[in-house]
A and B are shown apart, each in its own frame.
Chain A
Amino acid sequence: EVRLVESGGGLVQPGGSLRLSCAASGFIVNGHYTTWVRQAPGKGLECISVMSTNGARVYYAESVRGRFDISRDDSKNMLYLQMNSLRVDDTAIYYCARGFADSGLNWGQGALVVVSS
């Protein structure tokens, strides 16, 4: 069974940093495209970062480019999102997800990040 479990969310002050982790099971992370998608309160879904199977291709949305960094530890089958210079408008639920079949995504349960002073 494919499973993704996010951790590391919480309350952080503007300008602070946070690292989200995503533990994957039931599949090998370096065999699939993996992505982080966020959802601000009451809003829609925004794909903020994608990593290819070999890690050579990485995408960042303009809203997070230069502040967020996606990475992966193949030995632990883990996906990470390092978030720096956090802003109030980064407040959201952050989901990690696995891509398959050129369109579908399997999702984790999400981690809440609140940026507030």
Chain B
Amino acid sequence: EVVLTQSPGTLSLSPGDRATVSCRASQSVSSTNLAWYQQKTGRAPRLLIYGASTRATGIPDRVSGSGSGTDFTLTINRLEPEDFAVYYCQHYDSSVPRYTFGQGTKVEIK
């Protein structure tokens, strides 16, 4: 089973800063099967990135995903007030089938 480890656990930043969230997989995975989500308090997760780097519909281009193998990154440039939330990476294992999530990274206002 692939285990996803996100870092850091919490990121304290100011509006206008850049947020960089890391997701490390316990074994090499296909970029096709890696996604990122944003979750605000009391709301369902919202898809940001799928296929490691493809933005979902309506996601601005200051949000980007990159990486391959075991190391993936979510980058949010020029943080806006609505970006302060919890972010999760997720892997889809088609052989099971199963979706596995990282433990989450909270991006909070400094």
CB-defined interface of B47-59 with A at 8 Å, one 1/0 digit per residue? 1001110101000
Tell me if A109 and B56 are in contact (CB < 8 A). no
Residue from B44, B51, B96, B98 in contact with A103 in the complex, judged by beta carbons closer than 8 Å = B51
Tell me if A110 and B103 are in contact (CB < 8 A). no
Bound CA span A100–B94, Å: 12
A57 within 8 A of B: yes
Prevailing SS type, chain A contact patch:
strand
Segment of A11-19, A22-30, A45-53 engaged in the interface with chain B: A45-53
Shortest Cβ distance from residue A101 to the other chain B in the assembled complex, whole angstroms = 5
Tell me if A47 and B100 are in contact (CB < 8 A). yes
Chain A residue at smallest Cβ distance from B93: A59
Tell me if A44 and B101 are in contact (CB < 8 A). yes
Bound CA span A50–B46, Å: 19
Residues of B within 8 A of A (CB-CB), count: 28
B107 within 8 A of A: no
Bound CA span A47–B51, Å: 19
Tell me if B97 and A57 are in contact (CB < 8 A). yes
Bound CA span A99–B56, Å: 13
CB-defined interface of B96-110 with A at 8 Å, one 1/0 digit per residue? 111111111000000
CB-defined interface of A16-44 with B at 8 Å, one 1/0 digit per residue? 00000000000000000101010000001
B16 within 8 A of A: no
- Which 10 residue pairs across A and B have the least CB separation, nearest first? A104-B50, A47-B99, A103-B35, A45-B101, A107-B44, A103-B50, A103-B92, A103-B33, A102-B32, A50-B97
CB pairs A–B below 8 angstroms (20 shown): A44-B103, A45-B90, A45-B104, A46-B101, A47-B98, A50-B97, A59-B96, A59-B98, A95-B45, A99-B99, A102-B32, A102-B51, A103-B34, A103-B35, A103-B51, A103-B90, A105-B37, A107-B44, A107-B46, A108-B44
